[in-house]
Amino acid sequence: MLDVLEIQKILPHRFPFLLVDRVIDIKEGEYIEAYKNVTIGESVFEGHFPGHPIYPGVMIIEGMAQAGGILAFKSMDAESQEDTKNKVVYFMSIDRCKFRSPVRPGDRLVYKLKVLKHKGAIWVLEGKAYVDGKLTTEAELKAMIVDK
């Protein structure tokens, strides 16, 4: 389990773009489960949509990608993990993306990702997001860890 302070040691993202609050479970090289608490205080709700707040799908995908980045970094060998400050994860593709139901303020958005393929610096992940056990979003994410 990783809290937000430990997550900030791994990811370069900061408020308002750090979209993972906690890692619940992780098995290096295999899967990660993490979450984000979606609150009405987030500035995105000022414009998406006034009077009918919906958490944007692109933010859900970005949160999944950040959880995947944590998985990739934690799956590296100890020596490489020491060098995370000099690395960043870049998206290569987002495939088979589907938005199944809206996410609203007050929801806990649970990200579940599993490794489909890993070769060198390239990771292919199956990502799913849930609220109260109900699938809201799914996608296949491909990313690469590169030097800054």
Is residue 58 over pLDDT 90? yes
Residue 14 falls in which region: left (phi positive, over 0), alpha (psi -120 to 50) or beta: beta
| 48 noted as active-site residue | yes
Mean pLDDT of the chain: 94
- Position 80 scores a pLDDT of 67
Q: Which residue has the tokens 């088979």?
A: 96
Residues 140, 125: contact at Cβ < 8 Å? yes
Residue 14 has pLDDT above 90, yes or no: yes
Domain count, the chain: 1
Q: What is the pTM of this model?
A: 0.94
Q: Write out pLDDT tens, residues 63-118.
A: 999 999 999 999 987 666 667 778 888 999 999 999 999 999 999 999 999 999 99
Give the range of the structural domain holding residue 138, as residue numbers without chain letter. 4-147
Length of the chain: 148
The string of DSSP codes covering 42-71 is SGGGGTS-TTS----HHHHHHHHHHHHHHH
CATH number for the domain spanning 117: value is 3.10.129.10
